[in-house]
Amino acid sequence: MKIGIYGGTFNPPHLGHMAAAKAAVAALGLDKLLLIPAAIPPHKTLPSDTPAPEHRLAMVEKWADGMGAGAEVSALELEREGKSYTSDTLRAIRQTYPDAELWLLMGTDMFLTLHLWHEPEVILSLAGICAFGRTEQDGEALFAPQREQLQKNFDAKITTITLPGLVDISSTRLREQLENGGGGQYLLPSVYGYILMHRLYGTKADLKNLDLNQLRACSYSMMRAKRIPHVMGVEEEAVKLAQRWGADPELARRAGILHDCTKYYELPEQLDICEEYGVRLDALEQKAVKLLHSKTGACIARGVFGQPDAVYDAIFWHTTGKADMTTLEKVLYIADYMEPNRDFDGVERLRHLAYTDLDKAMLLGVEMTIQEMQQRQVPIHTNTLQARDWLRQHGVTTED
């Protein structure tokens, strides 16, 4: 097994870090990438506005989630007292993975000073070095002398790669931009959203008055990366349906962005939010976590992000549906059901109906939900049954 080890203060982790890591994974053919935020770096003092360790760890976890399979975060250095010496970290990793081929990833500046680090002989005996340059100047002419010296003095195993065009911004400059209201373009949206939500690095965003990019970032920061394509699909589908059926496209967009923002909250947290915002739950909802994210998402959309009641209602009912839904509520319900990433028997018919007869599409969606739950032998919420019955009583059928 080949394991890459990428450590640093990651204060904050930005797109340059991410692109460099991806390039190293590809160049080395790594099976696993360990991202390790440093507690106390030996070579510099952390600035005064550095977030608490748990925040830096959380941001790196969002970066790893965005990297996909094979990327993991280790709190090894954050949990260890004292300075974060790389030699100590490599010893610990070698104990965990005694037979793995270890590669230490680093940027140009770190590579050029590696011989001055604490116990360089230990580092170079335990791991190969992959150094990456971020500009055209970080090429062979710069790398070669250091590589030759390390190979001569330590019998080091070294790979160097140059990545011209890589996002090249210092963490210091990025923190300054964040404090002044910018910098989001250099960050993974989920990391940027986390920074805004927790007001890190001097950010002072008014969460009730975010622009759309900031709203997306905050919503994405609350969920797993694998959920984001679905949310993006719902947003765009909801806008199209709103334009087709006369609902407000802007409200549809905001409902789409936020509809799944609490999807990954566990049952206790879902129940706490319902209690905080005065949402009354029936017996089924109190134990069925899948029914709660629509209610808690609606509460967060209005209570935290200042969205209007129409957005609240659309999100609140997008899972179960209900009798006599508004156009916007139907739009979000159907967009969630048939956005472009969905793939199931009947979805193409649902997509056709969504743009020819919205009520027929609603009835088909509700009926398919009821049928699926009956097949799985799980309880069907009364609001879903009432949605079906109301449509039928008003003359809606799914017959062509």
Q: Using an 8 Å Cβ cutoff, are 86 and 125 in contact?
A: no
Nearest-5° angle of CA 4, CA 5, CA 7?
Answer: 150
Provide the pLDDT for residue 137: 61
Six token digits for residue 82: 């004292």
Sheet with strand 101-107: strands edge to edge: 71-73, 32-37, 2-8, 101-107, 128-133, 158-162
Mean pLDDT of 335-341: 97
Q: Is the pLDDT of residue 166 over 80?
A: no
Mean pLDDT of 47-63: 93
Q: What is the mean pLDDT of the chain?
A: 94
Share of the chain above pLDDT 70, in %: 97
Of 205, 155, 207, give the one whose Cα is nearest residue 182.
205
Six token digits for residue 258: 């936020």
Please report, as a single letter, which amino acid is at residue 241: L
Provide the pLDDT for residue 108: 87
pLDDT in tens, 345-373: 999 999 999 999 999 999 999 999 999 99
pLDDT in tens, 168-178: 688 899 999 99
pLDDT in tens, 121-150: 999 999 999 998 876 566 677 888 999 999
Provide the pLDDT for residue 138: 64
Q: Which residue has the higher pLDDT, 335 or 140?
A: 335
Mean pLDDT of 30-57: 90
Rounded Cα gap, residues 387 and 326, in angstroms: 12
Provide the pLDDT for residue 174: 95
Share of the chain above pLDDT 90, in %: 86
Q: Which residue has the higher pLDDT, 164 or 218?
A: 218
pLDDT in tens, 239-294: 999 999 999 999 999 999 999 999 999 999 999 999 999 999 999 999 999 999 99
